[in-house]
Amino acid sequence: MSDPIEKSTTALERANIPLPKFLKKNHYFGFLGILLVYLLAGTYSEYSQTIMNTIIFAIIGASLIVVFGMAGQLTLGHTIFVAAGVFLSANITTVWTRGLETELPIAFGVAFLLGLIVGFPSLRVNELYLALATFAVAFVGVQVLFEWKQFSGGGSGKPVGKLELFGYEFSRGPTLVRIALVLMLITFWVVGNYQDGRTGRSWNALRTSETAARAAGLPVAWLKILCFGIGGGLAAIGGVLYAHTLRYAIPENYGVALSIIVVLALIIGGKHRLMGAVLGAVFVKWLPELSRDVQEYEGLIYGGTLIILTLIAPDGLVGMFEWLGERLKNLKSDPGAETTSFVAKETSPLDSEYLAPLSSSDPKGSLIVRDAAVAFGGVKAVDGVSFEIPAGGVTGLIGSNGAGKTTLFNAITGHVKGATGQFILDGEEISQKPIHNRALSGLGRTFQNLNLHDDLNVLEHALLGLDRNMKYGRIAESFRMPWVLREEKNAHYVAAELLDHMDLLEYWDEKVEDLPYGLQKRVDVVRALATNPSILLLDEPAAGLPTAEALEMMKKVQEYANHISAGVLIIEHNVELVAGVSDRIIVLDAGKTIADGTPEEVTRNEQVIAAYLGT
Amino acid sequence: MSGLSINNLKVGYGRNEVIHGVDIKVGAGEKVALLGANGAGKSTVLKTISGLLTPTEGSITFNGEEIGGSNPAALVEMGVIQVPEGRRVFPGLNVEDNLKVANYGKSPDLFEEGLEAVYNKFPILKERRKQAAGLLSGGQQQMLSLSRAIIAKPRLLLIDEMSLGLAPLLVKEFYEQLGDLFSEDVTLLLVEQNAGLALKYCSRFYVLRNGELVLQSDSSDYIDDPTALQSAYLGVDA
Amino acid sequence: MVDYIQIAWQGLVSGFAYALIGLALVMVYKTARILNFAAGTMAGISGFLAHWWAAEQDMPFGVAILFAMIMTGAGTYVVERLTVRPLVKLGDFLPIVIMTLGVEEFLANVSLLWWGGTARRYRVPGDIDRINWLIGDFRLNAWHLVVAITTFVTLSIVGYIINQTELGLGMKAFAEDQDAAKLMGIKESTVSIWTWVLSALVGGVTGIVFAPVLFLQQDYMNIIFIKGFVAAILGGFLSLSGGVAGGLLLGELEAFTIKWAPREFAAALPVVIVFIVLLIRPHGLFTREKGHERV
């Protein structure tokens, strides 16, 4: 029982958190599968057409995972990227008589740029709107193509030239299948790398809560546009393959119908996993092979399947299989066996080699608020509030319901539109910056109503916060360069120690939506702490918690804030708690400051008591 | 039993339990206040009674009938009427349409009657009856919100934080008028942060803190010195 | 001059279709915050039913229209109850949108199996659509007049329902504040279903009156659906009258663009408009920006 733990043992090792690796188990399975098809492609050449279509759909599916599965942007205009690939391929092979070495990069590049443009509305509108706007893009795209005869050949279309690579010509049939498989392998690998890297994590984060993603310092606008660029580029690779399979490019094939089918296929397969793209493609492409009857009713079957799956298994076939797998596992293992004895830490995580370097004796987080004001309609929610917080201090902000505390927070962090006044953090004016840049300047915040990312686990929340300090670029991430892995590993170690400090380590693998409220509150705090903020804005961290639990959490937060010498500004109703932790309390009422002083002074202030209890 | 009876009520959002087992009794025709600092869970309790939220555990009965988890429309039909926090008038509808909505599904004749009563009590609403409710001042919106409840003919009236965002003098006026607006036999549960006002109007009160009841008493015990409630509210000894 | 009037009238006639579909879309979006991707296909089926019954099943035209409208209403009722309602409780709108996509795919294929993929053009009794009057140099097609009158009547009926009936009041209240509306005793499911049905009926009318103008193909209403959406965007998507005005404006813009701009550009017009509007006035041309958003 009392095995002495070596001092050097890190939190990550104690919790058995796996480190990111260059190749994962999934990679081997995927590689095996693809190898199998690669070998069989020559044997069953009568099926090569269907195999080819399946591969193309799987690639398009993977590209949609980027846009829809990860970033959560429902796009119905995805076929314009496919069409771009198809027609660029037709033009490059016939007009320039060049081969794949030219087709692929140009198709990717053009579709990438096109994606940036198509993605633009996502910045201005909600997802519902966006779905329709992209639907319009698909609809109109095909018409424009139709009219642009020089490029597309108009209604009769355009032939596609030879299949060549650096001047070597290939026969189509099985060789094309093999080329396609290699491209699929690359596409899947790249998308998989995003899933494990900072970009994918950021996309997942913005899907589940944009507000919180911004507060963690993520450039949400760029990330949204980028997902369309990358998704579009990858889809165009599918388009190039399409061109060579069909050998003839006809505009009307790439309209709304195809757009809907690719989305349908991915949703049926499962939109969050690469396996979903494969299953969806297989479902859509092999079902009609079963019989002529099926062929006739194929659209009906797809529509019907989607309707039923949306009702019973929103995560598609993959989700169903995973659920079944869980069930089987639970049946086999006896329930008591899994509780691993959790080894307690011996030294404070703050002294660990990963958190110690963050220690600082140089207080930061001096915040000057000058004449902050926010009006909603005619109501002044915040009405000319000014104060200065010295670096490294703990300041409480209290006031009755509707006094304007949260609105003031939102004004400081940029989460509310139309705020006026000046905010200066450590001498730097941040009033005009967008939310995520204020976060990058050193504002860390939590949310009153818990803005967490439901689908992410606890560890990922910490990693999200750490994103602010990650250096590796997105191209390096696409190909999982060594330094990407190095940084990710380091971030995992830091995240684990941070979780350990907040007593969350044993829950690292849990999805936050499954955690009890008190722990969710901690996760929210962890995400903010991980950004290594200069000042931490806590919005009712104790609301809904028993006082003892709240005090315990606040103690941890303060320890960490002291460790990095950050300032803390805390909104709280639990006056007992605020009075216990703050050096100073500011009281708001009806949008104005009514008291400002030490906890003792404030709790005895007549005006404050009146504002709280009414007289 | 007649009146409102809440037993061991637990409510949560998703997995997060906010109300941890609360018992409240309001006898028929009784006026009771539910007090507490904000974030204590008062509104959650009211929303659960009026059907906007579903209890995870426990029971709510009104005049002996279980109403926990019923849909709001059915409850309105039974006479369970809530005046929501923040007034929640329909800003784009005019004053009269706002009142008409309160009569939804009921006979137009009754409406005419109620309308007259409302206009008698609040002549300003009659004056502005064709104006969009969003253009009214906060006080007028509160009048409108209360008027909707008058039209709905409550048997159990739930009022959520009437003082929110209104000038103290105005709030006082509303409390003084409450007795006139609704008939004596209406059962009332009132959520309020402003203890002084609520105690003057209600005979009994409960104090909620962090989702649990920490105090219940007769108003008369505290009416002279509501500040004595401070420790119950805030959990701190002053 | 007559040229311009002719073009303007042409634009107005197309504008009627966009306006009606725009109205139908805004109605559902406003009350339930849902976009129905099957709306175009549903409207198309209404048109097909009416004209197919009348032309190929020897049903009197009026009866065919009546039956088609009844089918549309009943079909929508079933679709809403079976597919949308179970998802509303989850409180997440994305599954609902996906669901309507599934319904779209399903219904489009039903229509394809029933009527085949080839384009048809149905005539109306008395060949009204071939009657043209000349007023000076201005040519007026009789069916276009019918379209105009139908649009006017439909808009009046919808206006009446929304402004004068209790259902309309419920819809408006629900659109403004769902929780407050529930507290007034308005049933969400009742408002939702009737909004859907009303919206589908407006779509059905559009499908029926425009069938003789367009070639009927399994997806003939989809293009009108897209343009109806553009109309709704022009109108800010939350305003019924804005949607109608947006539709008429789009019809005019389109008619004049076709006259003077290259065909490629005219084809891209709807998307260009969507992008410009989103860039400059995301809340639409005719409505003022709505208040605040809180975190």
Q: Report all structural domains of chain A as residue ranges with CATH numbers, in order of start.
A: 19-281 (1.10.3470), 367-613 (3.40.50.300)
Answer whether C197's CB lies under 8 Å from C28's CB. Answer: no
Phi first, then psi: give them for residue B20, nearest 5 degrees.
-105, 60
Cα atoms found within 13 Å of the Cα of residue A373, Cβ hemisphere only: 10
Identify the band that residue A5 occupies on the pLDDT scale cut at 50, 70 and 90.
Answer: very low
Enumerate the residues of chain C whose CB falls inside 8 A of the CB of residue A221: none
Q: Does A129 touch chain C (CB under 8 A)?
A: yes
Answer whether C50's CB lies under 8 Å from C66's CB. Answer: no
Nearest to C183 among B50, B77, B100 (CB): B50
Q: Does C241 touch chain A (CB under 8 A)?
A: no
pLDDT for residue A339: 47
Tokens linked to C47:
């048109």
Residue A152, number of CB atoms within 10 A of its CB: 24
- The DSSP symbol for A506 reads G
| pLDDT, mean of residues C218-238 | 85
Beta-carbon separation of C291 and A296 below 8 A: no
**Interface mutation target, options A80, A140, A142, chain C, most CBs of C under 10 Å:** A140
Alpha-carbon gap, residue A190 to A194, rounded angstroms:
6
Identify the band that residue B149 occupies on the pLDDT scale cut at 50, 70 and 90.
Answer: very high
Identify the band that residue A4 occupies on the pLDDT scale cut at 50, 70 and 90.
Answer: very low
Residue C82, number of CB atoms within 10 A of its CB: 13
Helix (H) or strand (E) holding A240: helix A220-246
Lateral strand order in the sheet of A428-429: A379-389, A367-376, A420-425, A428-429
Q: Measure in Å the smallest separation between the Cα of B194 and chain A Cα atoms.
A: 5
Only one residue has tokens 């450039």, namely A219
Q: Does A446 touch chain C (CB under 8 A)?
A: no
Nearest of A229, A225, A219, A221 to residue A198 by alpha carbon: A219
| pLDDT, mean of residues A237-242 | 96
Nearest of A380, A273, A369 to residue A320 by alpha carbon: A273
Answer whether A107's CB lies under 8 Å from A275's CB. Answer: no
Q: What is the mean pLDDT of chain A?
A: 88
Q: Measure in Å the smallest separation between the Cα of B210 and chain C Cα atoms.
A: 22
Q: Does C172 touch chain B (CB under 8 A)?
A: yes
Identify the band that residue A342 occupies on the pLDDT scale cut at 50, 70 and 90.
Answer: low
pLDDT at A63 over 80: yes
Q: Measure in Å the smallest separation between the Cα of A581 and chain B Cα atoms.
A: 14
Pairing of strands A584-589, A443-445: unpaired
Report the chain C residue with the minimal C-alpha distance to residue A305. Answer: C102
Beta-carbon separation of A406 and C295 below 8 A: yes
Alpha-carbon gap, residue A83 to A86, rounded angstroms:
5
Interface of C with B in 81-100 (CB under 8 A): none
Beta-carbon separation of C107 and A303 below 8 A: yes
Q: Measure in Å the smallest separation between the Cα of B230 and chain C Cα atoms.
A: 30
| pLDDT, mean of residues A310-339 | 79
Q: Does B48 touch chain C (CB under 8 A)?
A: no
Enumerate the residues of chain B whose CB falls inside 8 A of the CB of residue C177: 88, 90
Summarize pLDDT for B194-203 with one digit per residue, the tens.
Answer: 788 888 889 9
Enumerate the residues of chain A whose CB falls inside 8 A of the CB of residue B193: 400-401, 612, 614
Ordered DSSP codes for C189-233: HHHHHHHHHHHHHHHHHHHHHHTTTS-B-TTTTHHHHHHHHHHHH
Beta-carbon separation of A256 and C29 below 8 A: no
Alpha-carbon gap, residue B152 to C122, rounded angstroms:
53
Enumerate the residues of chain B whose CB falls inside 8 A of the CB of residue C163: none
Identify the band that residue B235 occupies on the pLDDT scale cut at 50, 70 and 90.
Answer: low
Nearest to A310 among C35, C102, C222 (CB): C102
**Interface mutation target, options C26, C80, C101, C281, chain A, most CBs of A under 10 Å:** C101
Ordered DSSP codes for B133-164: GGGS-HHHHHHHHHHHHHHT--SEEEEE-TTT
**Interface mutation target, options A603, A604, A613, A615, chain B, most CBs of B under 10 Å:** A613
Q: Who wins on pLDDT, A413 or B169? A: A413
Q: Does A67 touch chain C (CB under 8 A)?
A: no
Enumerate the residues of chain A whose CB falls inside 8 A of the CB of residue B210: 544-547, 574
Enumerate the residues of chain A whose CB falls inside 8 A of the CB of residue B134: 377
Enumerate the residues of chain A whose CB falls inside 8 A of the CB of residue B15: 513-517
Domain boundaries, chain B: 4-220
C-alpha distances in Å from residue C169, one per residue of B93, B97, C28, C181: 9, 8, 15, 10
Nearest to A300 among C95, C109, C267 (CB): C109
Share of chain C above pLDDT 70, in %: 96
Alpha-carbon gap, residue A382 to A379, rounded angstroms:
9
Counting Cβ atoms within 10 Å, is residue A333 exposed (0-12), middle (13-18) or buried (19+)?
exposed
Summarize pLDDT for A212-228 with one digit per residue, the tens.
Answer: 999 999 999 999 999 99
Q: Does B91 touch chain C (CB under 8 A)?
A: yes
Tokens linked to A294:
């099926």
pLDDT at B82 over 50: yes
Nearest of C44, C4, C68, C18 to residue C228 by alpha carbon: C18
* CA distance from start to end of chain B: 40
Q: What is the CA radius of gyration of chain B?
A: 17
Q: Measure in Å the smallest separation between the Cα of C128 and chain A Cα atoms.
A: 31
Beta-carbon separation of B210 and A547 below 8 A: yes
What are the structural domains of chain C?
2-280 (1.10.3470)
Range with the poorest average pLDDT among A56-60, A542-546, B233-237, C161-165: B233-237
Beta-carbon separation of C101 and A143 below 8 A: no
Q: Who wins on pLDDT, C169 or B227? A: C169
Report the chain A residue with the minimal C-alpha distance to residue B229. Answer: A613
Tokens linked to A258:
């195809």
Report the chain C residue with the minimal C-alpha distance to residue B100. Answer: C169
Q: pTM here?
A: 0.87
Q: Does B127 touch chain C (CB under 8 A)?
A: no
Summarize pLDDT for A272-298 with one digit per residue, the tens.
Answer: 999 999 999 999 999 888 877 878 888
pLDDT for residue A614: 53
Q: Give the distance from CA B70 to its chain's centroid.
A: 18
Per-position b or e across A540-556, b if 16+ CB within 10 A of its CB = bbbbbbebebbbebbeb
Pick the CATH number of B4-220 from 3.10.310.30, 3.30.1330.200, 3.40.50.300, 3.90.1150.10: 3.40.50.300
This model of the complex carries an ipTM of: 0.90
B touches which chains (3+ CB pairs under 8 A)? A, C
Report the chain B residue with the minimal C-alpha distance to residue A591. Answer: B165
Answer whether A445's CB lies under 8 Å from A408's CB. Answer: no
Counting Cβ atoms within 10 Å, is residue A349 exposed (0-12), middle (13-18) or buried (19+)?
buried
Share of chain B above pLDDT 70, in %: 94
Summarize pLDDT for A106-164 with one digit per residue, the tens.
Answer: 999 999 999 999 998 888 777 777 888 888 888 888 888 988 988 998 888 999 998 98
pLDDT for residue C292: 34
Q: What is the mean pLDDT of chain C?
A: 88
Q: Measure in Å the smallest separation between the Cα of B187 and chain C Cα atoms.
A: 17
Q: Does C171 touch chain B (CB under 8 A)?
A: no
Q: Does B236 touch chain A (CB under 8 A)?
A: yes
Range with the poorest average pLDDT among A236-245, A310-319, B157-166, C182-191: B157-166
Q: Where are the alpha helices (DSSP H) in chain C?
A: 2-32, 39-56, 61-79, 85-88, 93-115, 142-164, 166-176, 178-183, 188-210, 222-234, 240-260, 263-280
Identify the band that residue A615 occupies on the pLDDT scale cut at 50, 70 and 90.
Answer: very low
Enumerate the residues of chain A whose CB falls inside 8 A of the CB of residue B238: 603-604, 609
Beta-carbon separation of B234 and A612 below 8 A: yes
Nearest to C230 among A136, A410, A447 (CB): A136
Beta-carbon separation of B235 and A576 below 8 A: yes
Q: Does B33 touch chain A (CB under 8 A)?
A: no
